[in-house]
Structure 1
């Protein structure tokens, strides 16, 4: 296996275009927390996401994508997602290796870099009530908006079948 550089936002946009998936992206100053990103709400409609990169005791990795203000109980979520025992946050090295992003930029779009399919993507049911879902396009200085059903199509096109589960309190 050769180490390849993580794909860029431009690569992601070309991939979405190749799937005929409409998307729009707004650049903004880097945001590292939900609180920092809330100033963008008026400019970007739809469901805004918080993404948790976690692993279980068997070193299986998951990205939980939930609505930005939702609460995930990390002590019990393993029962919902089928993880082996309690989960903990994945290490930054694995985040870069599997998703091609740094902490603060975890995103559902990281599936694009997970060509080895090391990560299971879990979309929260409440988030999926939105017609439009927003996520970082592999860096936290922009937000990409995509239709809910197109997000599923994108994930499947990357070789990931997402789980849509109720993972928030």
Structure 2
């Protein structure tokens, strides 16, 4: 799935979204100016691997501290470590810095578990990369969830510690 495919899907489904082009960002700190320009719940995305070899994509608010030990315990994953860039490119078809929940649609069913923090349910919009870190899009969280479901991506929404 390409960025154009995603935008076409959104348009056909009547999903309203806003796109902001910007210089490449690799960290939450680098994206501070984007937060001001594009009001939404901005994200931090962690591509993880558990001790059994299962891959996880965890999306949490950009300002939330990532506690991998607590996440693994909550999700029953054993111990988490960051997945290798090669696995990211093979499974999600994105490079480091461009991880996004949208990329889960590129993984074969059952290969990546996608988890969202429950706080996104309260947000008017969620801000995510469209498969590259030189743009950010904002759209309603429920619309994103519906789109992912339509692509066969199973998701979980949990209160991450």
Q: Secondary structure at the match of 2:69?
A: coil
Q: Which residue is equivalent to 1:103?
A: 96
Question: Quick one: which of 15, 19, 26 aligns to 1:21?
Answer: 15
Q: Of 27, 49, 55, which aligns to 1:55?
A: 49
Unaligned segments of structure 2, at least 5 residues: none
Distance 1:58 1:20 in 2: 39
1:77-88 mapped onto 2 (5 Å cutoff)? 77-83=71-77, 85-88=78-81
Which of 115, 119, 134 is residue 112 of structure 2 equivalent to?
119
| 1:67 alignment partner in structure 2 | 61
Q: Distance in 1 between matches of 2:63 and 2:31?
A: 11
Deviation at 1:82, TM superposition (A): 2.5
Matches for 1:84-163 after TM superposition, within 5 Å:
85-163=78-156
Ranges in structure 1 where 5+ consecutive residues have no aligned partner: 1-6
Q: Report the more deviating stretch, 47-56 or 111-120.
A: 111-120
Runs of 4+ in 1 over 6 A off after TM superposition: none
- Contact 2:105 / 2:153 at 8 angstroms: preserved in 1? no
Which deviates more from structure 2 when the two are superposed, residues 110-119 or residues 126-135? 110-119
* Deviation by residue 1:93-140 (Cα, 9 ceiling, x = unmatched): 110111111011111111221244411110001233211001000000
Aligned length: 161
Distance 1:120 1:149 in 2: 18
The structure in which a higher percent of residues are helix is 2
* Cα RMSD, aligned residues only: 1.3
